[in-house]
Each structure stands twice: as C-alpha cells, then as structure tokens.
Structure 1
Amino acid sequence: MTRCRLCGSTALESVVDLGATPPCESFLAAEQLDAPEPTYPLHLRVCTDCWLAQLPPLITPEETFSEYAYFSSYSSSWVEHARVFVADAAARLGLGADSFVVEVASNDGYLLRHVVDRGVRCLGVEPSVNVGAAAREAGVPTLTAFLSPETGAAVRAEHGPADLVVANNVYAHIPDVIGFTKGLRALVADDGWVSIEVQHLLTLIEENQYDTIYHEHFQYYTVASAIRALASGGLALVDVELLPTHGGSLRLWARPEEAAGEPSRRVADVLAREKAAGLQELSGYTEFSARVAKVRRDLLRFLVDAAEEGKTVVGYGAPGKGNTLLNHCGIRPDLLPYTVDRNPYKHGRYTPGTRIPILPPDRIAADRPDYVLVLPWNLRAELAEQLAYVHEWGGRLVFPIPELSIVEVER
C-alpha cells in the first residue's frame, strides 16, 4: 500500500502486522484440503493525514461476496437489534406506507423483513447471490448488485429516492469508499437520511479486538475519519450513537450536505473522546501491537496447558473474526479438534488456513468437553445463555478477547 484510499496521502504508518492469512470467509470443503490455499498479508496501517485506518485492497469484494457464508439471521440478538432499529427509525423519521427504505448489503433480509411487516415499501441491494436468494424467499425484495454511483442512480430512477438508506456493517467492506459513498448519495432523497453502522476503531484499539481485522474489512473508522469519508460523496454527519454491537460500533446518521444542518452534541462528544485516546496522533496506536501479542501468548498458553493436562477444548462458532484469531495464533486441530456453528452452510467444511472441522452444535453435548472456546466473543451474553447446558458436566466457557477469560456458566 502506498497511498491512502480516502485522501491519497502517502503518510501511512503501521498499526499491527498479523502476518499472512487466507480470506476469513473462504471455508474449505473436504475435497479442497489437499489443494493450495492462497494467503494475503494482513497489515493494518493508519493514514496520519486523515486518520483512516486501512488494509491494502489485496482481494476484491467480488471474490468475497458473490457467494457468502455469513447469514445474519442465525444470530437471534442481531435480528432483535434490527427489529428495534426499524421501530425506532420509523418513529424518528415518520416512516409510513408512502415511504421507501433501501438497505445496502441487506444479507438475508434480517432487517428489511421488519420493514415489510410494517407495510413500508423497501428494497435490499445485496451482492451475494446465495443470501440474496434467501431474502427473496423470505418475502424481501432484493436486487443482486454491488452499490456504485451507477447502481444507486439506476435504483433511484426505477423506484424513486429513498427516505432512508441503511448500510449496516458494510462501510468497512468496500475498497472504493468514495464511489460507495457517492452511491449512497445517489440512493437517498435530497431531504432523506442515511444510517450507517460500523465498528468503532476506538473500541477496537482499547479492547484488543484485533480479530475483527480481516481482508474483507478494508478500513476502520473513527467519527473523525467517517466525517471525511461521508463528505467525499456529498453527505454530512448530523448525529452519532455508540452501540455495543460487535464489541463497540458507531451508528452514523447522515444527510445530504444541503439538508444536514448543525451536527448534534453527541458528535462533538465522541470526537473529543477519540482525541483524548490519541487517535488523531500516532501515540494512540503504538501500544496496540504489543497488546495483540499478549492475547496470542495467553490463548496459546491456555490451550497448550489444557492439552498437557488431558483436558478437552472445542470451539463454538465459526465467524470470520475467529479465523483471524486462529490463524494469527497458529491454532490447529491438535489444540482445537473442532468448532461448531448454527449455520448449516458451514457444516462439513473447514476453517481457512487452520483446517479445523466445523460441526453442528449438538456435538458439544455429545462430547461434553472441559472447555468451550467462544470465537464470536461479541455475542457473549447471547452465547452464554445458549451454552448454559455445559454446566451439567462442569464445563466452562473461554473468551479470548479483550483478554483471556475462563468462566463457569449457570443455568
């Protein structure tokens, strides 16, 4: 990487180098285990001119998202998060039968199904063929496409401008951040709203959430860098919410520049927090790499000690972030013989790079392991409830992030 993708600067400084890993969602079928597996450098840098943290675009969105392994509806807490958002947005913006809502990267319809239930006209724009098909089967109108300025203009010409455009957990996933932002502007009405949810770089740094760094996340936002990114497409930030999702996320409320007005007090408050954390100078980033190394050492020490003591450890979940962790730590089936996942799409497949089998969840109750390593740690409350049954045989849960935590579960 030689230039910042947002401002074009060459002033890029290293934040953390995680080596080379396969794309995190490239789960392997059994017949692929003896074939070569490509890996790509995973080196996060920050631009010291606009403070956008970013990875080089070594893979394309087409490689990742044309066929995608992640279905949002398998997380019940995420579906509930979407339901609450739709209810709140409908009240805040006065959405009704005459309104039009577009969600970009709408996945399997996890959010727009709540819009459909309200009788509000909507459209999903989803590039992945398989999950888009699932959305249509669930009754959510869905266009299979990547968002670009041209796609946004075409949707607007056919369906009219959107009163609300939603872009949850996608603003980090596109290398052409300027073109994508222009696409959002093309979709939204001149007096409309854009709501974007994206992980907050502040909590990523503070809570050692380095496993959320992977190739399909091309950039990592603060409010300061998000303001610059939005402006590149003619949008202005007017409000921000701090959310607990994904370990700490931003909900950015933006409008076309001509309709934006003054930003809320919350915007100034979060900007002040980011500045106090040193995220607009290199000092805020210099210790992160050392703390990442400690997470790796602690997890490996636990797994090796458990193996030496004859204890069994299995995984729960096969999220993309888990594959960053497994590959960075060099964890193989000798230390983690399998992981389980609720998504049937992943059953019988293997984690990229580390080749750990992915099995149905009922395997845990059958095997009664001593420890369950929870890879989607951001769903801690939800999964602690789902896994309460491991208490029956004295099993314990292990959370690797933000630091190693071994907990007993209660029924």
Structure 2
Amino acid sequence: MQRRSRRLDRLCRLCGSSVLESVLDLGATPPCESFLTADGLDEPEPTYPLHVRVCRECLLLQIPALVSPDETFTEYAYFSSFSSSWVEHARRFVAEADRRLTLQDRDDAFVVEVASNDGYLLRHVVDRGIRCLGIEPSVNVGAAARAAGVPTETAFLNPETAARVRAEHGPAALVVANNVYAHIPDVLGFTEGLRTLVADDGLVSIEVHHALKLVAEAQFDTVYHEHFQYWTVLTAMRALEKGDLTVVDVEALPTHGGSIRLWATPSGNAGPPSERTLDLLEAERRAGLHTVAGYRGLESAAREARAAVLEFLLDCRRRGERVVGYGAPGKGNTLLNYCGIRPDLLEYTVDRNPYKHGRFTPGTRIPIHHPDRIAVDRPDVVMVLPWNLEDELTAQLQYVADWGGRVVFPLPSLHTADLSHVTPSTDEPAEALS
C-alpha cells in the first residue's frame, strides 16, 4: 500500500504551505467503516492518527491523508438509499436543479453525479427522462445503482476519468458532487475533473458539511479518516478558483448537522456572488474562521463534549440502566473511539443496513444488530449515534416511550428527546448517515 511521505502529509493540500497549526487531536482510531466480523475479533486492527490542523496561509482545515480512498471506497458499507429522509432530500434537489436549469426542456441535457453511491439521487433524474451518469468508485454500491436502472461507471474522478467521460458523453449541464468534496485528498485534481465534466455554461453543485458548524458546535465526530478536509465557504471558493470554477451561490442546509450547497460555474461564465453567499461569508468572519484564531477553541470544546457523554453513561451504569445505541455510522465510530465507549457502557447498537448485522464497530468492538432488537430488549436508554437525524429518528423511535425508555442524542450537546409530543413515524428506521 503506497502512501505519501510524512513530509508531504504535513503540507497543505490546497496551497502547499508547510505552516499547519494543530487544532484538534482525537488520538488514533481504525478507519471508521472497517467493521469487524466475529472471526476478526482476535485479529489486530490498524489505527491511524486523527489530527486536525489548519493552514495558516489559506485556512484549509485538514487531516493527513493516511488512509487512501482506494482502501476505503472499493468495497463500501454505506448505502444512501437506506435513509428515507436522504432520498427525499435528493428528490427535492433534483426538482430544484431541473427548475434552475430547465433540464427537461433541453434535448442535450446531461447530468453527472460524482460519488453517486447506490443511485439515491440519479434515480430521480432517470424518472424525469433526463440523460445521466453516475461515477462511483465503490464496486458494490455501484452495482446496486445499475441494478436500480441508474447508469453508473465504477471509477474515481480525476482529470483523466473526466476527459474520457466528456469525450464519450459530451459536457454536462449539471455536475453534482454531494458529500464527496471532503473525501478527496487530491483536491486540485478532483476540482480539475469537475471543470472538465461541466459545460462552459453549466453548473457544478457541491454539498459538504460546513466547518462553521464543526467549530461552533464542537462536532468532533465529523472528523474521520474518510474526511480529509473540512470546508468553509471561503476555503471552498479558493479551491474551486484553482480549477477555473467560481462560486455564484451558496445555500445553508440542515443536513449532517449543518451543511452548505455551493453552486459554481466556469469562471468565464460567472457573475457576482449571490447575497446569501456574502451573508455566509460574513457569518464565518464573525465566528473568527477567516483567521487561525477562530479554530483554537475546538479541542477544549471537544473534550468537554466527551466528558458529558462519559459522565452520562457512567451514571447510567451506576444506576443499573441498560443502554444501547441506534445507528452505526462512520461519525459514530469517531465518537465511540474518542470517548473510549465499549460494550460495558453501550451494550450494542443497531442499524438498518444488513451489511453491518453480526459485525462489530471498529476499535470499540460493539456488536451491531437489526433495529428490531430494541423493541425485544426494551432498554432503558437508546443513544442515537447519527444525532444529525434528530427529527427523523425521534419520530421513528417514539415507541421507546411505551416502556418508559429514553432516547438520548449525544451531540452537539447531550440531551434527552421529548417523546411525548412526537407523531410516531410509519417509515422504517433510517440507516445512520455518516
């Protein structure tokens, strides 16, 4: 397995500066999607540092690229379509993009999604009769997309892949890159690929977790080895400019605990940024994130959040209460490992994804079961690891109140959900989003 040298790992991947300042050290953990089988419990697990630094020159928040995308994404445990709320989010996006670009009215309309997963988004494009292609590196989830009728190519996006796709299919009116811009160690090559794919008058839409929320709410579990960098609007604009793309609009989204949707176009076609882009830039400036100083309180805030979670679980154990988890997302594994939570504090967790059933969380070795296990065991407390889906999962876990159980969300600040004023959901439980 080839990795970049230690010297290169300490250079900013956006501007090349060697002046990186530590702002959050979470220790060393296994890769967050490396779930263990029962046969592997006696085997050693490789661990890698989770150490976040900010570049003093360009302000990109980043970790070293110690685990390559090839290792993570060739066979992947995460399927987007298991979350009903995420599929609905994608449907609304496609409808909005169609209105914005009048895709259905254009004979040459072509949509490309990068990191298209199992077709959760492009299936809505297919339903509208619009030509599309997914570019998905994971063999197993790409196969699921094709089985669902979504044209999908198994590949990582780089300049060469982008040039070949454009030569075969033509330029895209819309290129979508949802929740992937954080996952790319070669930011400049990936951005060049986006520019190659998009038509000169087309749009690139990028959704990514907002570093403003990460810092303001100490969302430390957003940090894991799949996430190589953490974007503000300012740093994303700087990165896209290096690929001849200009941000013209930005939306604030509630997804993943607070995200941004960046709309960019080839620079030769760009007008001035929208008012809401300027508003978000100003919010970042007020929060101090346009200087290094704004990031320096992150580590102490993460430690306080960890202490609150551990104190709660230890109190539950002292009272003899049975505590289980809901969800087995990548972010949950950062929380479990950073807090040192093992089966003595969290007996097991559940997840809708059958791939994870019978497996164990990396590092902490907590067993993962089907969600039905909760209703059978009637635990005193259900701790929800994908806390970013609070509204959806509070409704779906309302039945825990039937036996007097509690549903607890550990972050951004630990709290117990009010199950008395919730309309029970008729949907199946959602898979934990990473």
- Selected match of 2:192 from 167, 182, 188: 182
What SS does structure 1 have at the residue aligned with 2:103? coil
> In 2, distance between residues paired with 1:231 and 1:408?
45
> In 1, distance between residues paired with 2:342 and 2:27?
16
> In 1, distance between residues paired with 2:362 and 2:308?
22
What SS does structure 1 have at the residue aligned with 2:417? strand
What SS does structure 2 have at the residue aligned with 1:373? strand
- Selected match of 2:286 from 276, 294, 317: 276
Shift, 1:208, TM fit: 1.5
Post-superposition CA distance 1:116-147 (Å, at most 9, x none): 00000000000000000000000000000000
> Which letter does structure 2 place at the counterpart of 1:85?
F
Gaps of 5+ in 1: none
Q: Is 2:59 aligned against 1:51? A: yes
> In 1, distance between residues paired with 2:10 and 2:310?
34
Q: Is 2:412 aligned against 1:402? A: yes
> In 2, distance between residues paired with 1:289 and 1:243?
25
> In 1, distance between residues paired with 2:372 and 2:67?
35
- Selected match of 1:34 from 18, 36, 42: 42
- Selected match of 2:324 from 314, 321, 324: 314
- Selected match of 2:11 from 3, 18, 21: 3
- The residue number in structure 2 matching 1:134 is 144
- The residue number in structure 2 matching 1:391 is 401
- The residue number in structure 1 matching 2:234 is 224
- The residue number in structure 1 matching 2:244 is 234
What SS does structure 2 have at the residue aligned with 1:154? helix
TM-score by length of 1: 0.99
Q: Is 2:283 aligned against 1:254? A: no
- Selected match of 1:79 from 83, 87, 101: 87
In the TM superposition, 1:119-158 aligns within 5 A as 119-158=129-168
> In 2, distance between residues paired with 1:171 and 1:348?
31
In the TM superposition, 1:210-221 aligns within 5 A as 210-221=220-231
Give the aligned length: 411
CA RMSD between the two structures = 0.8
Post-superposition CA distance 1:297-355 (Å, at most 9, x none): 11111111111111000000000000000000000011111000011111011000000
Post-superposition CA distance 1:368-406 (Å, at most 9, x none): 001000000000000011101101001111111111102
| Runs of 4+ that moved beyond 2 A | none
> In 2, distance between residues paired with 1:187 and 1:349?
39
Q: Is 2:314 aligned against 1:304? A: yes
> In 1, distance between residues paired with 2:372 and 2:343?
19
TM-score by length of 2: 0.94
Post-superposition CA distance 1:243-286 (Å, at most 9, x none): 00001101000001111121112211111111111002122112
Post-superposition CA distance 1:355-376 (Å, at most 9, x none): 0000000000000001000000
Shift, 1:408, TM fit: 3.7
> In 2, distance between residues paired with 1:184 and 1:226?
14
Q: Is 2:204 aligned against 1:173? A: no
Q: Share of identical aligned residues, percent?
A: 70
Shift, 1:407, TM fit: 2.5
> In 1, distance between residues paired with 2:182 and 2:25?
18
> In 2, distance between residues paired with 1:11 and 1:270?
26
